[in-house]
Amino acid sequence: IMNCIIRPCTVKDCKVILQLIKALGQMTGSDVCVSFPGPALREDGFGAQPMYDCYVAELPSGQNSKKGDSIVGYVLSTYTYSTWKGRNVYIDNLYVRPEFRGMAGQQIGKQLMKKTAEVALKKGCSQIRMHVARWKENENRFLTCCGSENLTAKEGWNLFRFEEDTLWRLAAHN
Amino acid sequence: MECVVRPCRAEDCVEVMRMIRELAEFEKLPDQVQINDQVLREDGFANDPFYRCLVAEVPPEYRSRDGHTIVGYGLYFFTYSTWKGRNIYMEDLYIMPEFRGIDLEENRMNLGSPGICTPNYAGKGIGKKLMSKIAEIGVENRCIEMKFVVLDWNQAAIDFYQSQGAVDLTAAEGWHFFHFKGDALVRLAQGQTGL
């Protein structure tokens, strides 16, 4: 088992997280995250009104990844609400560096999820929710193994989205 | 008919809770409602609210058959993405059935079948007004997208949302909605999962 430290993200960690996002974007061929401005991650997480919670997985001191830094994964979440069950946590992003996945890596992902669950329960939350693409088999298997239920499969909940231009049109109705 | 869309006040929680139960009944999942108006009030009106809510209110002369003037609500909150920044998430949008199918511009009531949003009048009623206000709040807060979930058999809702430009990401891209609750959440917190 990888003896990672799971700790709250600090302002200094934002730079590394941004590098991880960019690397993921380049790997998947998406240019959305490459254009994401760096400062917003810092301002949004550490300004007057933090917009998210973030925990990082860090290698013990003395160990570094191939790239020379020690952060190997992160989980970013927000507090949300269910009109049926009350306080929730919504996991927006969970990421572990590919070279740290697999048997040892599953423990890092699990440790990040465990931390999120501990914090959720302490805050009086009764659910953790997230969305995952069906074709991401490893992620689906990981979540199911951790004990989650697929509500799309079970109850028929479909995810809908208004993207930027349709959102503006909808807002302009007023 | 006038309809005012305004922020929910603490004293509106009793009415919003009534409509939450009506919506759960319609979604064929009434046993899943576990909170009450007191919890709703505590969680929405403390220092660090977990949600925000808008209500749709009509003047007393247009009150519902049962005497209610608060006839709809939209409950939302903000989430975050390391890819896109702040997002707005619409948790619930509900209009009492007798107030659907209304054309607010032409001031006509109950066009077509009650509870059905007829194509000619889609986007002119209270549901559109509520949802547009949430979108406006999203845009004001620099959100670049709004997300929500809909039951796959709720064709009237699907038709309404798609008529306004929403995309079904489950159908289009295979996104699925997962949750941890109850014992599964406790086991996760204790590190006692199957891995």
pLDDT of residue B182: 85
Higher-confidence residue of B111 and A73: namely A73
Query: What value, to the nearest 5°, has the Cα angle with vertex A89 and ends A59 and A55?
Result: 15
Confidence of residue B47 (pLDDT cuts 50, 70, 90): confident
pLDDT of residue A66: 62
Beta-carbon separation of B79 and A90 below 8 A: yes
Chain B: closest CA distance from residue A62 (Å): 26
With beta carbons less than 8 A apart as the criterion, state whether A45 and A9 touch: yes
Confidence of residue B103 (pLDDT cuts 50, 70, 90): confident
Determine the average pLDDT of the residues in B102-128: 60
A151 contacts on B by Cβ (under 8 Å): 176-179
Beta-carbon separation of B35 and A52 below 8 A: no
Higher-confidence residue of A26 and A140: namely A140
State whether residue A19 sits within 8 Å of chain B by CB.
Answer: no
The 10s digit of each residue's pLDDT in A126-140 is 999 999 988 888 888
With beta carbons less than 8 A apart as the criterion, state whether B80 and B89 touch: no
Determine the average pLDDT of the residues in B17-45: 95
Chain A: closest CA distance from residue B8 (Å): 14
Beta-carbon separation of A151 and B144 below 8 A: no
Question: How high is the mean pLDDT of chain B?
Answer: 88
Residues 6+ apart with CB under 8 A from A105: A2, A96
Which residues, numbered 136 to 165 in chain B, qualify as contacts with chain A under a Cβ-Cβ cut-off of 8 Å? 136, 138-139, 143-153, 158, 161, 164-165
Q: Does residue B120 have a pLDDT over 50?
A: no
pLDDT of residue B89: 96
Higher-confidence residue of B157 and B104: namely B157
Positions of B marked catalytic: 161
Q: Does residue A40 have a pLDDT over 90?
A: no
Determine the average pLDDT of the residues in B51-67: 95
Strand boundaries in A59-170, DSSP class E: 71-82, 86-96, 127-133, 149-150, 157-162
Model ipTM value? 0.87
Query: What value, to the nearest 5°, has the Cα angle with vertex B183 and ends B180 and B184?
Result: 35
- Give, in order, the Cα–Cα distances in Å from A155 to each of A8, A126, B20, B166, B175: 34, 19, 18, 21, 14
Q: Does residue A37 have a pLDDT over 70?
A: no
Token pair 């997962």: residue: B178
State whether residue A120 sits within 8 Å of chain B by CB.
Answer: yes
With beta carbons less than 8 A apart as the criterion, state whether B175 and A132 touch: yes
Q: What's the pTM value of the predicted model, to 2 decimals?
A: 0.89
State whether residue A108 sits within 8 Å of chain B by CB.
Answer: no
Which residues, numbered 73 to 132 in chain B, qualify as contacts with chain A under a Cβ-Cβ cut-off of 8 Å? 75, 77-86, 89, 91-92, 123, 128-129, 131-132
Residue A126 φ/ψ, nearest 5 degrees: -110, -5
B136 contacts on A by Cβ (under 8 Å): 171, 174
B143 contacts on A by Cβ (under 8 Å): 167
Beta-carbon separation of B50 and A81 below 8 A: yes
pLDDT of residue A28: 65
Confidence of residue A38 (pLDDT cuts 50, 70, 90): low
Which domains are delineated in chain A?
Answer: 5-130 (3.40.630.30)
Which residues, numbered 20 to 79 in chain A, qualify as contacts with chain B under a Cβ-Cβ cut-off of 8 Å? 21, 25, 30, 32-33, 36, 40-41, 44, 51-52, 76, 78-79
Query: What value, to the nearest 5°, has the Cα angle with vertex B51 and ends A146 and B7?
Result: 160
pLDDT of residue A134: 85
In the numeric block, which tokens belong to residue B180?
A: 């941890």
Residues paired with residue B108 on neighbouring β-strands, in sequence order: B103
